Amino acid sequence: MFNTSIGLDDINALSRGNMIEHLGIEFTEITAGYIKAKMPVDQRTKQPFGLLHGGASVVLAETLGSIASALAVSDMNLYKGVGVEINANHLKSARGGYVTGICVPLRIGKTLHVYDIKIYDESEHLICASRLTVAILKVD
């Protein structure tokens, strides 16, 4: 499903100079069936009470799904993915270390992709369960 000829260095290079870099998100694994990225739980991603901010979890989830769509289209120069709906259930808090997101496709269609993204803490507790729908559009 995913184009694995594109390396982690190339994917992580896309993160420079935008929110992905600012939050410290780093892609760690790309396979044909899933992709993974990690994000620190630190001053950039915590809310005022010292817990991982739910919005940061959603950013990690949407980042994973967006990159997954880029890796799933036939030609990234001709098609782009844009998120149209995301939901997230915040199931447990995290106070430090890293969280890791794993993105698995539920459906890869010609014009619509749907992903299941689960985020875990370093003890492999499920922190957040998310679903993202991405529309595939022709590049202008």
H/E stretch holding 18 reads none
62 an active-site residue?
yes
- Token couple for 104: 């698995």
Q: What is the largest CA-CA distance in the chain?
A: 44
Q: Which residues lie closer than 8 Å to 114 by C-beta, 6 or more apart?
A: 105, 106, 107, 131, 132, 133, 134
Say which of 21, 62, 85, 122 is annotated catalytic: 62
Burial class of residue 90 in the structure, from the number of CB atoms within 10 Å of its CB (0-12 exposed, 13-18 middle, 19+ buried): middle
Question: Catalytic residue numbers?
Answer: 62
